[in-house]
Amino acid sequence: MTDLTPSPLVIPQVIVGLGNPGAKYDRTRHNIGFEVVDLLAKWWQISLSEQKKYQGLFGEGLGASSAKVRLLKPQTYMNNSGQSIRAVLDWYKLPPESVLIIYDDMDLPVGRLRMRLSGSAGGHNGMKSAIAHLGTQGFPRLRLGIGSAKNADIDKDTISHVLGKFAPTEAAIVADAIKLSAEMVEYSLKQGVEKAMSLYNNRTAGE
């Protein structure tokens, strides 16, 4: 007999944007997760402040549909992001699936969004750290396309690509992608991650 019980809604309680701290990394491709969290903080009027116990910039308040939500920008540098995320989960006694992590992805073209309920790190050091510290791959994530280094410039290596800034010609698409991502997060708070996936995963910013 088929089990027709609907699966429980996955509603994020901690929204994490990945990036590197410091002015020199501001608005680089690798920091696009930070920018989505900054926009959500603005929309929801949540102020982010440095919290040493979380090793990050943190704030809590009411998000979409008046749901209690916490925003986090780890300040550990990308490779140790998981330490900061783990600290928040431990403090609030939350399970890994209550986290939604937003980060850059070179495998997706600029402007493409892709939300998933779980998955591997796909070579992303911030996600490798998150998976290691949470002890599972079973938590939602939202990837934002930043294009590959090869597409940008054949001689450019991966590091200089992700730590570089978007081209001026990409600015409008990136701004739209950040806004779409924030809308997707809001929708996931109201209707759950799976509904947000079905509505937004085929959309590309700037279309």
Residues annotated as catalytic are: 30
Three-state SS at 141: strand
45 membership: H or E segment, kind and range: none
Distance CA 82, CA 46 (A): 22
- In the sheet where 113-116 sits, what is the strand order? 49-51, 56-62, 68-74, 14-17, 99-105, 141-145, 113-116
- 149-154 contact pairs (CB < 8 A, 24+): 149/106, 151/109
Q: Identify which of 200, 125, 201 has the alpha carbon closest to the alpha carbon of residue 162.
A: 125
